[in-house]
Amino acid sequence: MYRAPLRDMRFVLHELLGDDRLSAYFASVDYSGELADSILDEAAKFGEGVLEPINQSGDVEGARWTPEGVQVPQGFKAAYASYIESGWSQLAVGEAEGGQGMPHLLNAAVEEIMFASNMALYLGTSLAHGAVGAIVASGTQGITEHVVPKLVSGEWMATMNLTESQAGSDLALLRTRAVAEGEHYRVFGQKIFITYGDHDMTDNIVHLVLARIDGAPAGTRGISMFLVPKFLLNADGSPGAPNDVRCISIEHKLGLHGSPTCVMAFGEDQGAIGYLLGEPNSGLAHMFIMMNAARLSVGIQGLAQSERAFQQALDWSRNRLQGKAPGELTPGPVAIIHHPDVKRMLLSMKARIEAMRVLAYTAGIALDTAHRDPDAGVRAAALSRGELLIPIVKGWCTEAAIGVTSTGIQVHGGMGFIEETGAAQFLRDVRVASIYEGTTAIQSNDLIGRKLGRDRGAAMAALIKDLMADLDALRATDLDTKAAKNAAVESLVLLRDVTEGLLHLQTETPVRALAVSVPYLELCGLVIAGALMARSAGVAAQALQAGSEEASFYKAKLRTVRFYVDQVLPEAYGLARVVKAGAASVTDTDVALI
């Protein structure tokens, strides 16, 4: 049974990242550490009490397609009604749009709880925040006034319609077209892999659709974005007649069975009525507002499912009796947690999870700084940092989650391969996270092509410099903190050198840089998180020296960080070697030889 890891969340929020900045940035909503704790307590109650109990049953039952529309698993509709009644949909939406205006950082923590409790259900709700941002930035006053309040309240849901069967991730190849008709357009085409494209939880669904206006330029330069409602809007904004939009099937997936992934047909009859968002041919830029919000959320999905897998594996290991403890004279079976390799697997899971958490939350506070700091220079630097971190969070956390959830199955032994224990669901559900919203390669190409390339690595250099300064200021008086500090500094030097080499490679032979972009992204995740983990060790050591009453928590934090720098961070050296010297083995191999 899932229990929100509130103590570690609060450690990162309050003790590592601190409350002062956010309290100043969000004074208008009276933000404070105490308010954040209260919200996290309520999120834990909701996740554990409402969402988690229908997680496994939703996986077994799955969403169901019918000619009348898609039906979600039993309990989902009631849980969603409770979700909007409790106001969770409003949490991170700005005050100007009718939301509660809470920080990205706090929203990241709440999302972790919700995704861990029931990823399949929460997926449908998580797209609304990004959709609101995209519509506010590009919609007409009428569209904004009618649609945004419904999304903020949760009365309606939103979807993101990009992918087509013949194009996949290559949006330049999309064929969905739009024909002007007065003040609106008629949209014709088919989209696949649309999360919650149809369901029976709300009385309307707002589809944000990428399409090409007839006569538009080829490629991504000719893509526009349209708002296409499932039901047309009456003059007062209420749902009216059905639009020419239909879910023609749902996908049969490896995991996330409770979440309907739809094939959507637009314009099978007269054409689906859609409203242009922004200027013609500028759709991709507007859609990226929604996509960037979604990418951070997907990284948090990796963290959340890893935490679920760890909690279940830990509970199993404490109760499963098997074998004798090595070196012990006591007869009879012992809990398998006493076996060294089981202990190693659990520590590996825990260390990677805590590293994911601190990395994802750091990205969240960077976005808050970018939007709220009074100094324009600070805002610009923070925005560059947040944009740099998002592909790393999305790519590294989701790739790491595949390993962590797989390890959770391994801890269970043969019983992990049996669906009844539930251990396999976490791996099945999270496996898509490294694929959707841009595969890991798309994230890594974005990292080196856009985020490093646009400023020749200046944002990465600034991040490394700041992390180095934090480590220089770290008072390492105990062996664990000293080891963490030394390892983190060494790995940051390694990352700095590898980044410089990659920038040179990108200039000289771009295709070779792309061939090692994923190992570079993984190197970034390991090392940046390692530096943040070393800072965590310093905070924990200071608390112990001050005689904290929570000594067991801080001792556990020190041991987890020590495991990370001893057994996880060394992976950086292998990745660095690949980035430095592994590109030619890819680019110089003829595809006929594969």
Q: Catalogue the active-site residues.
A: 437
Q: How far is CA 255 from CA 59, 250, 581, in A?
A: 8, 13, 37
Question: With the C-alpha atoms ordered 398, 403, 404, 408, is the resulting torsion angle positive or negative?
Answer: positive
Type of residue at 277: L
Residues 6+ apart with CB under 8 A from 157: 124, 125, 127, 128, 151, 196, 199, 201, 202, 205, 206
Q: Where are the alpha helices (DSSP H) in 373-478?
A: 376-412, 423-430, 440-446, 458-472
What is the residue-wise DSSP string for 194-218?
EETSS-SSSS-EEEEEEEEETTPPS
Whose tokens are 């919609």? That residue is 139
Contact status, residue 431 vs residue 254, Cβ threshold 8 Å: yes
Strands 64-66, 245-250: parallel, antiparallel or unpaired by DSSP?
Answer: unpaired
Q: Determine the Cα–Cα distance for residues 350 and 310; give it in Å rounded to an integer.
A: 7
* 279 three-class SS: coil
Distance (Å, whole) CA 529 – CA 359: 6
- Count of helices and strands (H, E) across the chain: 20, 12
Neighbours of 38 (CB within 10 A): 11
Distance from C-alpha of 395 to C-alpha of 416, rounded to nearest angstrom: 26
Which of 412, 424, 404, 440 is CA-nearest to residue 564? 404
Chain centroid, CA 208 distance in Å: 20
CA distances from 359 to 298, 386, 442, 457 (A): 13, 11, 20, 19
CA dihedral 535, 536, 542, 545 (to 10 degrees): -130
Amino acid letter, residue 426:
F
- How far is it, in rounded angstroms, from Cα 133 to Cα 99? 12
The neighbour count for residue 322, using CB atoms within 10 Å, is 13
